Chain A
Amino acid sequence: MLFEELVISIMKAVNLERTVSSPFHLIKGKKSGQTIQDIGYYRLHPYFAVMPKLDKNAYDEVIQSLFARNLLRPNEQVIDLSEAALGMKIPPSKLNGWKYRGNEILFLNRLSLIVQTLSHTSQSVYSFDPVHNAVDLQAWVKEYLVRIDFRDPGIAGRFKKELHDSLGAANVAEENKMMLMQRLTGLRLSGLTWEQIAAGKGLHTLDVQLEVIETLHAWLEVLESGDFPLFSPLLNGVVQRSSLTESAERTDKLFKQGLSLDEIAAVRQLKTSTIEDHFVELAMNDPAFDYTVFIPQDLFRSITKISAQRNTKRLRDIKEMLPQASYFQIRLALAVKEDIS
């Protein structure tokens, strides 16, 4: 998936309802209530946090180009896609951002140190400049290598075979696998900068970065089968066990212990609005979430009905029709509605 396709995919989902900067926050993985809640409303899970280091200027340039080519219509308030943009055919993507949350980079960093080490040691070179200097990462890789007995040429060969077979099975274009491989280094083989890879392909650096992330997501999916034992340890801490943010998880725990929303806010010394965000997140992720604690049944039905009739998820529109509902109740109802439909 190219970067522009990513932006348009998100924009299609939130067209006329969110600002042009909302895709930026989503792609960066901003953990605000608004962003987290939008993921559930608009089914944006694949795109969350796929580029945590995305630069605002780079993003704005892409937006300007969309305006310049009339894919975006001038609109001060919200994203306003033109017919051409709405009709753009975007191939299905293997992105799985909600699951990996930027942790795929941890996997890549481990892999690149392991490959660099094996590349040298298997060719009898025992001293080299590691591509990563982070102490914890180096310690992790060292421990891993010792555990698998990396000096045994048979083990190095098996590692290579697992790499070859699992990446081979990943469901992305072969040329994208090459881009990923170009970020790995070995004896007398340098890595390529994003810009160098992009120049070779006639792409933008953002495209190359995104394609590599997508390749990693597709590859991780293959590796999660457990059929590649040497790679299993590399997944530790990369795959999110729960789809909740850590903070929401803590709120969930307290809620299940019987604390009320206000009590949780007091105990955790957080604003009630933050705790409300957590409940919206819980509602989106837990099909068994009991909303009736917060919204009477009939009010819940009214909210979902208006949202469906008017085809809107804008809180203000719904609030105008149902002044008795609080914003929190509306947000919660919309979150729940998505998951039971």
Chain B
Amino acid sequence: MKLEELLFNTYGFTSFRPGQREVISQILEGGDVIALLPTGMGKSMCYQLPAHRLPGSVLIVSPLLSLMQDQVAQLKKMGEKSVVAINSFVKQAEREKIWDNLASYRFIFISPEMLVQPFVKNQLQRIRISLLVADEAHCISQWGFDFRPDYLRIAEILPVLGNPQVLALTATATKKVTDEIMAYLKLKDPYVYTHPMDRKNIAYDIKRFEKPNDKIEWLKSFVQEFEGPGIIYAGTRKKSQEITELLLEMGLRAAYYHGGMEHQDRIFVQQQFQNGELEWVCSTNAFGMGVHIADIRHVIHFQLPTSIEGYVQEVGRAGRDGEPALATLLYASGDEMLMESLVMDELPNRHEIEVVAGNSQESKRLVEEGIVRETAYRVISYWLSQMTAEETVARIDMIRQEKIRQIDKMKKLVNLAGCIREYLVGCFDQEVRDKPVNCCVNDGLNYEVFEKKKQKYQKSELDNWQNRLNALLPLG
């Protein structure tokens, strides 16, 4: 059967999206693959379709719980029934059931920390895994903006599973990160698919201000002149709430979204955004993962992102429909200092490393008593399991140097005189071909396409519960 035929028979789609065909055929030929595909480009199809041809199960290692839940939901929505997610939130009784039927699942999602547990390893060893998928594979990179020590341990599980084929998926990776993925997962001569990073329909803008408060004033006039839907990345929870309040006061349809909210409320905000009831969502970087909205016109960064990779990933949520979208980065003097101290504070310091190394028995107490921060502890204990304390200090120092390089790249971006597009794409070792007319602020921007069309939004007013019930269930 041809791949197109398989695609149609399985999911009812008539054609592949860019990159999918190449990746899928390489997997079916038995090789390892690294695929750099932007989010929203149908990454998951790259393992979904092969799963229908391969003899065993597909094991997908997914670093974020929310992401995993979303992927499972999306797969089920596409009609896949044989899907299971194994993470620390699965209850014991449910787990028993999963182990009993493990071989029968076509798709097994698992979190990295579950993957390395001896019991789980034994269970996985019993069944046939045809393909291991490392999702968000850039998390493997110790230099990356999203390093997760647990992720490095995928390499340990491969021989246990009889060295299945590997598919490493990521939306953002420089050449350096790709090399690291290759080395850590011990991929032999993998096929590397790199989708062009450049999104022609996204135009780049940077606004520079003297004082942080000037950003608010700018935003006030911006939202009156221009039209959503848009995401405003606010940096902190508090800021996202403040901005939302401001927009609501102006009579705009806005809501905030952050990790501190009740799960159900977060779902409701997503629904509202998806149903076109909201024009602006103000968020911390939590927003976007499970959101599949094609017509986002604006991504506004109220604060400097901590890396180019993170920035590009967030900007990439705009204009999935191919229509013009605008990415606006707001910068006030001093922002880079704030960002720098934020990033540097996150790293384990020498003192923490030495304390953990000297008290390996009492590590739990160190975290509880606040002597060592939990995130720092996880990173330190990983490296200490691999090398001596002195080497760990040196290693963390190297990571610090790399972070400084990343920060410098961001600093360079906000002070850039040349083309922003060329600069961003260059950070991923790629080149811009066919620069679009509406490219970036430094090449001159035409804002007209983003102006308000003066369409009045009609909100259906349901004034009592019986009416709302009738709207929910319009029956008889």
Say if the beta carbon of A164 comes within 8 Å of chain B.
yes
Complex Cα gap A156–B469 (Å): 13
Which B-chain residue is minimally distant from A179 (CB atoms)? B465
A167: B residues at CB distance < 8 A: 465
Contact A122 B475 (CB under 8 A): yes
Task: Please give the distance in Å from A200's CB to the nearest CB on chain B.
Answer: 11
A176-232 interface with B by 8 A CB criterion: 177-178, 180-186, 188-196, 199
Asked whether any CB of chain A lies closer than 8 Å to the CB of B275, the reply is: yes
Instruction: Please tell me if the beta carbons of B473 and A160 are within 8 angstroms of each other in the complex.
Output: yes
Contact at A180–B473, with CB atoms within 8 Å? no
Q: How many chain A residues touch B (Cβ–Cβ < 8 Å)?
A: 43
Chain B CB within 8 A of A135 CB: yes
Other-chain contact of A190, B69, B72, B268, B465 (Cβ < 8 Å): B268
Contacting pair B474 A177 (CB below 8 A):
no
Bound: A184/B275 CA distance, A: 15
User: Is A153 interfacial (CB 8 A cutoff)?
Assistant: yes
- A193 touching B472, Cβ below 8 Å: no
> Do the beta carbons of A136 and B94 come within 8 Å of each other?
yes
Chain B residues with CB below 8 A from A195, complex form: 265
Given contact pairs A119-B472, A130-B73, A185 touches B94 in the complex (Cβ within 8 A): no
Closest to B68 in A: A133
B277 contacts across to A, CB distance below 8 A? 190
Across-interface contacts of B73 in A (CB, < 8 A): 129-130, 133
Taking CB atoms, residues of chain A closer than 8 Å to B267 are 131, 191
How far does the Cβ of B85 sit from chain A's closest Cβ, in whole Å? 8
Tally of contact residues, B, Cβ under 8 A:
33
> Which residues, 143 to 190 on A, are CB-close (under 8 Å) to B?
153, 156-157, 159-160, 163-164, 167, 174, 177-178, 180-186, 188-190
Contact indicator A157/B69 (Cβ below 8 Å): no
**Docked CA distance A332–B267 (Å):** 47
Question: What separation, in Å, do the CA atoms of A189 and B255 have in the docked complex?
Answer: 16
Q: Does B271 count as interface, using CB distance less than 8 angstroms?
A: yes
How many Å from the CB of A293 to the closest CB on chain B? 37
Question: Separation in Å of the B358 CB from the closest CB of chain A?
Answer: 35
Which residue in chain B gives the minimum CB-CB distance to A131?
A: B267
> How far does the alpha carbon of A214 sit from the alpha carbon of B438 in the complex, in Å?
56
| B262 CB–A CB distance under 8 Å | yes
Q: Chain B 259-276 against A: per-residue CB contact (8 Å), 1 yes, 0 no?
A: 001101101110110110
The residue from A128, A132, A181, A185 contacting B469, defined by CB atoms under 8 A apart: A181
CB of A148, distance to nearest CB on chain B (Å) = 14
User: Is the beta-carbon distance between B271 and A184 smaller than 8 angstroms?
Assistant: no
Asked if A333 is an interface residue, CB under 8 A from chain B, the answer is no
| A193 in complex: contacting residue of B77, B261, B275, CB < 8 Å | B261
Is B466 part of the contact surface with A, judged by Cβ < 8 Å?
Answer: yes
Residue A115 CB within 8 A of the other chain: yes
CA–CA, A128 to B73, complex, Å?
A: 9
Given A164-B466, A177-B465, A180-B465, the answer on whether A189 and B471 have CB atoms closer than 8 Å is yes
A77 within 8 A of B: no
Assembly CA distance A182 to B255 (angstroms):
16
- Within B234-258, which residues are at the interface with A (CB < 8 Å)? 248, 255
Not counting A186-B472, A196-B268, a sample of 11 additional A-B residue pairs whose C-beta atoms are within 8 angstroms of each other reads A122-B475, A131-B264, A131-B271, A136-B91, A156-B475, A160-B475, A163-B473, A184-B468, A185-B271, A190-B272, A191-B271
> 21 A-B residue contacts at CB 8 Å?
A53-B262, A118-B473, A119-B473, A122-B474, A123-B474, A129-B73, A130-B73, A133-B69, A160-B476, A181-B472, A183-B264, A184-B472, A185-B271, A188-B275, A189-B275, A189-B468, A190-B271, A190-B277, A191-B267, A194-B265, A196-B255
4 tightest A-B contacts by CB? A190-B271, A191-B268, A186-B472, A193-B265
Give the interface of B toward A (CB within 8 A): 69, 72-73, 77, 85, 90-91, 94, 248, 255, 261-262, 264-265, 267-269, 271-272, 274-275, 277, 464-466, 468-469, 471-476
